[in-house]
A and B are shown apart, each in its own frame.
Chain A
């Protein structure tokens, strides 16, 4: 019901004298960054006002297909059959990128827990149930791990974060691929040691309050909340800490195709952090008014230049140079 009301508000046409109002909706993961961009952009461009609602990637794609917004954003990009449904054609542009970290809570707050790539899928599959399991202990000879049950904290709501994590787990673990699989929500193992909490803040709070907890959250969020993050073993066999540099190294290995939809499910490279992803903005190729298209192109340009400087500060990964130029070229299609 609320959605309907909001959509009606979004459809009110802006008169020529007044500010041009642009509305967007979608992914909540890049929301802090996007809202900072739009605030700064609206300050510099007096004739435009951009509103963005963080409803979630799935809702953003639906709004985009139904033409109730001027643009949308999605962590899961769009499926080919969804793109085919868009009247006026779609342009998908990767605008920023992020990492998913595995956060944990252990007594004594040990730092730099190392998780090998055959171990963390088994934790999320519920096969490793104790912290002092030999497979975790062997990878961390310097740490004295407690005899404590592993409590897995996952997202309760459907989310792009879950999608990225489960896609990565499917890529590195056949058991995961044939079990829960990849998706914005999956069927997690049934155990009383698996609990779910809503949104990033719910997961973070639950991890912080539960000794022996492990869970996945976005890097930007984990940085702000100061939780302990595990070093993950990448494809090259190295243990890598999550950081802007290791995320950028992961993205540098991405090969962007024509439609700019690429996944870095299991990045190559010694310094690459294994779980990283782009996140996309969705635009129409043919917009209702040329002024709107112009503002949208300017907004993309702002995001590619000034916007990338903001992203590091806020815990996102700046786009590699080749991606920036590819996005700039593709943005010309917004007419």
Chain B
């Protein structure tokens, strides 16, 4: 009894929220709602603006635009199949290379292979890769990567030229140098997000695996990776999204030639490079066509992200259900 009286008379530690608290809470909630809606509105506006400007081209070229292979401003013939192919092909190649190295690096840096201090140094260096401007990557690709892979490419073409992947000789710029540089560019994203995912797996799970007699690699490959798979998959989707939209380095390295080829050494083209290189001097006739191409790129990116999110949700519910 006495205790309650004391509590009531002294300085109140807890009590009903004051007017100011209500105000603060409501205005913060309001602000958060506005910010959330703002993002959706920006995406909507983007689609609306680009879509509206693309309407004349959509009306004129219909879906033939997606299957045409010629881009001739003078004759008003436009098609972006080689660009769609090049965008997806270069991104998938980059994802395969960058994903493998990125995830390996994340395992290496989080699974007690290195003393914590040295791991930090490695992590910082990988993160630094993200800070290098795209143009620098482009020049690095032209001056370092291309001369480096030329002898390998010539050998592969001479010995294994019957495989469609090595069917042409390397001219200089082409799919392979573009994909290699792209892989390095998406590496920091994949490595950083995968590391977070692996670090979020409770250490006890790994100890339990060891306790059951698992070796280090069994613990990593059969316990840690599957547990962190949702996060790692998210990292891959992010990296793929970044690869789809990368512009300047690709414009310098991919060769910008309307080729539809499986060959890794053939030049190609990507949607982002096409847009970046043609916009500055586009005339009245070309702008709607470029907007149409931009819309296609936007839809491809949205589709990739949505499919990625869908797969992630699906797998995480399955895991929670214990399947």
Q: Is B one of A's binding partners?
A: yes
Q: Which residues from chain A sit less than 8 Å from chain B, CB to CB?
A: 55-59, 149, 151, 153, 156-159, 181, 183-188, 190-198, 202, 205-206, 209-210, 213
Say which residue of B75, B147, B171 sits within 8 Å of A151 (CB atoms).
B171
- A192 and B258 alpha carbons, distance in the complex (Å): 9
Chain B nearest Cβ from A280, distance in angstroms: 16
- A120 and B209 alpha carbons, distance in the complex (Å): 70
Q: Are B73 and A157 in contact (CB under 8 A)?
A: no
Chain A residue nearest to B82 (CB atoms) is A190
Q: Would you list which residues of chain B between 243 and 291 have a CB under 8 Å from chain A?
A: 251-252, 255-259, 261, 263, 265-267, 273, 276-278, 280-283
Q: Are A196 and B255 in contact (CB under 8 A)?
A: yes
Q: Is B172 an interface residue (CB 8 A)?
A: yes
Q: Is chain B's interface secondary structure helix, strand, loop, or mixed overall?
A: loop
Q: Are A194 and B172 in contact (CB under 8 A)?
A: no
Say which residue of B168, B173, B283 sits within 8 Å of A197 (CB atoms).
B173
Q: Are A185 and B172 in contact (CB under 8 A)?
A: no
A-B contact pairs, 7 of them (CB 8 A): A58-B282, A190-B259, A192-B257, A195-B172, A195-B257, A205-B252, A210-B171
Q: Are B70 and A58 in contact (CB under 8 A)?
A: no
| Interface-side segment among B13-21, B138-146, B180-188 | B138-146
Say which residue of A185, A192, A209 sits within 8 Å of B168 (CB atoms).
A192
- A31 and B174 alpha carbons, distance in the complex (Å): 30
Nearest 8 interchain pairs by C-beta: A210-B172, A58-B281, A196-B256, A158-B281, A187-B72, A156-B256, A195-B255, A157-B277
- Report how many residues on chain B are interfacial, defined by Cβ distance under 8 Å: 38
- A194 and B259 alpha carbons, distance in the complex (Å): 10
Say which residue of A56, A192, A205, A213 sits within 8 Å of B261 (CB atoms).
A192
Q: Are A196 and B257 in contact (CB under 8 A)?
A: yes
- A206 and B173 alpha carbons, distance in the complex (Å): 8
Q: Is B169 an interface residue (CB 8 A)?
A: yes
Residues of chain B with a CB closer than 8 A to A197's CB: 173, 252, 256
- A186 and B73 alpha carbons, distance in the complex (Å): 7
Q: Is B162 an interface residue (CB 8 A)?
A: no
Q: Are B75 and A159 in contact (CB under 8 A)?
A: no
Q: Is B74 an interface residue (CB 8 A)?
A: yes
Q: Is B71 an interface residue (CB 8 A)?
A: yes
Residues of chain B with a CB closer than 8 A to A156's CB: 251, 256, 273, 277
- A202 and B141 alpha carbons, distance in the complex (Å): 12
Residues of chain B with a CB closer than 8 A to A59's CB: 280-281
Q: Are B142 and A192 in contact (CB under 8 A)?
A: no
Q: Are A158 and B278 in contact (CB under 8 A)?
A: yes
Q: Is chain A's interface secondary structure helix, strand, loop, or mixed overall?
A: loop
Say which residue of A55, A184, A193 sits within 8 Å of B171 (CB atoms).
A193
Q: Are B278 and A209 in contact (CB under 8 A)?
A: no
Q: Are B142 and A205 in contact (CB under 8 A)?
A: yes
Chain B residue nearest to A195 (CB atoms) is B255
Given A197-B173, A205-B139, A210-B172, A185 and B278 contact (CB-CB distance below 8 Å): yes
Chain B nearest Cβ from A158, distance in angstroms: 4
- A159 and B74 alpha carbons, distance in the complex (Å): 14
Q: Are B277 and A198 in contact (CB under 8 A)?
A: yes
Residues of chain A with a CB closer than 8 A to B70's CB: 187
Say which residue of B251, B259, B282 sits within 8 Å of A198 (CB atoms).
B251
Q: Are B282 and A192 in contact (CB under 8 A)?
A: no
- A213 and B150 alpha carbons, distance in the complex (Å): 14
- A205 and B252 alpha carbons, distance in the complex (Å): 10
Chain A nearest Cβ from B8, distance in angstroms: 62
Chain B nearest Cβ from A155, distance in angstroms: 9
- A153 and B267 alpha carbons, distance in the complex (Å): 11
Q: Are A206 and B172 in contact (CB under 8 A)?
A: yes
> Which of B139, B146, B171, B278 has the most chain A CB atoms inside 10 A of its CB?
B171
Residues of chain A with a CB closer than 8 A to B143's CB: 205, 209
Given A156-B256, A205-B142, A187 and B74 contact (CB-CB distance below 8 Å): yes
- A206 and B171 alpha carbons, distance in the complex (Å): 10
Chain A nearest Cβ from B143, distance in angstroms: 6
Q: Are A192 and B173 in contact (CB under 8 A)?
A: no
- A190 and B75 alpha carbons, distance in the complex (Å): 16
Given A56-B281, A197-B173, A209 and B147 contact (CB-CB distance below 8 Å): yes
Residues of chain A with a CB closer than 8 A to B261's CB: 192
Chain A nearest Cβ from B139, distance in angstroms: 7
Chain B nearest Cβ from A181, distance in angstroms: 6
Residues of chain B with a CB closer than 8 A to A213's CB: 171-172
Residues of chain B with a CB closer than 8 A to A206's CB: 142, 172-173
Residues of chain A with a CB closer than 8 A to B173's CB: 195, 197, 206
- A263 and B263 alpha carbons, distance in the complex (Å): 42
Residues of chain B with a CB closer than 8 A to A196's CB: 255-257, 267
Chain B nearest Cβ from A75, distance in angstroms: 11
Q: Are B142 and A187 in contact (CB under 8 A)?
A: no
Chain B nearest Cβ from A82, distance in angstroms: 10
Q: Are B71 and A187 in contact (CB under 8 A)?
A: yes
Residues of chain B with a CB closer than 8 A to A56's CB: 280-281
Chain B residue nearest to A193 (CB atoms) is B171
Residues of chain B with a CB closer than 8 A to A195's CB: 171-174, 255-257, 267
Residues of chain B with a CB closer than 8 A to A185's CB: 73-74, 278
> Which of A58, A195, A213 has the most chain B CB atoms inside 10 A of its CB?
A195
Chain B residue nearest to A1 (CB atoms) is B49
Chain A nearest Cβ from B224, distance in angstroms: 43
Q: Are B277 and A192 in contact (CB under 8 A)?
A: no
- A192 and B146 alpha carbons, distance in the complex (Å): 16
- A149 and B99 alpha carbons, distance in the complex (Å): 35
- A77 and B174 alpha carbons, distance in the complex (Å): 35
Q: Are A159 and B256 in contact (CB under 8 A)?
A: no
Q: Would you list which residues of chain B between 172 and 196 have a CB under 8 Å from chain A?
A: 172-174
Residues of chain B with a CB closer than 8 A to A205's CB: 139, 142-143, 252
